[in-house]
Amino acid sequence: MSDIGSSRIDRLFLAGWALTAVINSYLMYVLPGKETVPFHVVWITLSVVYGLTTWRPIVMASVLAAVTLTTGYVLVHHAATGFIGWEEITEVPLMAAVFGVMVWHVRRRQQMVAEVARLADVERRRAESQDHFVRLASHELRTPITIARGYTELVCAATDDPEIRKDTRIVLEELDRLAGITQRLVTLIRLDGPYVREMRDVDMVLAGAARRWRHTADRQWSVRSTIGMASINQDRLEAALDCLLDNAVKFTGTGDRIEVEGTGTRSSWTIVVADSGTGMSPEQVETLSNAGESPAPPGMYSGTGLGLAIVRAVVGPWGGSLRVTSELGAGTTVSLIFPSFAPQQARTDAMPAPQLRDSAAGG
């Protein structure tokens, strides 16, 4: 509703109350000894109208003074003529005090509502600015990488010198690594924005994530899940899974095992990504476990630590936790444990949720 429309409604409310106040003040005067009801009608309707409209301080003070003087004059007149006792006059300052307290609370509420609206507007502007930055950064960072990669491939294709070919392959590998870092940075920035959680089939999400990755690496892939429906944001969960599966692929070799398993109970659900790769030492595992919300040290797990930071950015706001267990030469297991925010439909029948078993990615 526009400010003009609100102002017009406020004036109508005030005019209606003024007419009611005049009628009841008249009734107070002409019904000595029976002025209690009209007296309270004046003050009650004043409080109601003030709560429903917006008054400037000068208007509020003027109306309060007019009502206090009018009702006070009538009660003093009736007390002087013997229709009521003088103690009845104390009703006037008491009602004025009650109205004053109400005004204080209403104004505080209005200030709080205005502050909430201001903060909401700031957050909206921040989200818009962040979205704009992400789009700009994604374009500005990826474009020069793509151009540099194209020229490097041309140099590699145009030369027969084995040393130059070796150097260009190193450059291409570093450009690919830089592209991966850029993508993770953009993903991490996006995770800080607003999102909606909805009931989704987590089993299908796990199967889809493994399906995307199995064609990129010759591994023994296995997916089992009985979580069923849970309250998630699918994009965020897929971002976390991609980071875990990317790490699993990096630290495993051809023919190694990568397993994704999901289990659920009434109070929680868990996603486990396990591999039979190189593993980590107890010191490295402890460093990861104590990393809190910070990325892992470079070279410890994901190469840059951004992968673990993305996973924590997903797990933390959902009230979940992340656990890492590993042994050198025996592989690594990462568990994501989430509380159930909504009723969960766990699948316990003989045929579990979508399964994916391949002896190799190409199978």
Query: Would you call 171 exposed, middle or buried from its count of C-beta atoms within 10 A (0-12, 13-18, 19+)?
Result: middle
Query: Does residue 77 register a pLDDT over 70?
Result: yes
The answer to the question of residue 183 being in a domain is no
- pLDDT (0 to 100) of residue 38: 92
Name the residue range of residue 290's domain.
198-358
- pLDDT (0 to 100) of residue 337: 92
Q: Residues near 307 by Cβ (< 8 Å), separated by ≥ 6? A: 184, 243, 244, 246, 247, 301
If DSSP codes are grouped into helix, strand and coil, which group holds residue 223? Answer: strand
The answer to the question of residue 286 being in a domain is yes
When pLDDT is averaged across residues 157-174 and rounded to a whole number, the result is 85
CA dihedral 309→315→318→320, nearest 10 degrees, is -130
Query: In this structure, what are the phi and psi dihedrals at residue 223, rounded to the nearest 5 degrees?
Result: -130, 125
Q: Is the pTM of this model over 0.85?
A: no
If DSSP codes are grouped into helix, strand and coil, which group holds residue 215? Answer: coil
The answer to the question of residue 29 being in a domain is no
Query: Does residue 292 register a pLDDT over 60?
Result: no
Whole-angstrom distance, CA of residue 203 vs CA of residue 268? 15
The answer to the question of residue 249 being in a domain is yes
- pLDDT (0 to 100) of residue 274: 93
Quick count: other Cβ atoms within 10 Å of Cβ 354? Answer: 17
The answer to the question of residue 259 being in a domain is yes
- pLDDT (0 to 100) of residue 336: 93
- pLDDT (0 to 100) of residue 290: 62
- pLDDT (0 to 100) of residue 296: 42
Q: How confident is the model over 190-230, as pLDDT tens digits?
A: 666 667 888 999 999 999 988 888 888 889 999 999 999 99
Find the CATH number of the domain harbouring 331.
3.30.565.10
Q: How confident is the model over 302-351, as pLDDT tens digits?
A: 455 567 778 888 888 888 988 888 888 889 999 999 998 543 333 333 33
Instruction: Using the structure block, give the residue that is written with the tokens 């151009």.
Output: 147
Number of residues assigned to the chain = 363
DSSP class of residue 310 equals H
- pLDDT (0 to 100) of residue 195: 75
What is the full DSSP assignment across 152-194? HHHHHHH---HHHHHHHHHHHHHHHHHHHHHHHHHHHHHTTS-
In this structure, is the dihedral angle defined by the CA atoms of residues 125, 128, 131 and 133, taken in order, positive or negative? negative
Mean pLDDT of the chain: 80
Instruction: Using the structure block, give the residue that is written with the tokens 């003088």.
Output: 86
When pLDDT is averaged across residues 250-259 and rounded to a whole number, the result is 90
The answer to the question of residue 159 being in a domain is no
* 8 Å CB contact between 67 and 100: no
More confident position, 1 or 91? 91
The answer to the question of residue 58 being in a domain is no
Q: Provide the domain count of the chain.
A: 1
The answer to the question of residue 14 being in a domain is no
The CA-atom distances, in angstroms, between 53 and each of 2, 239, 262 are 14, 49, 55
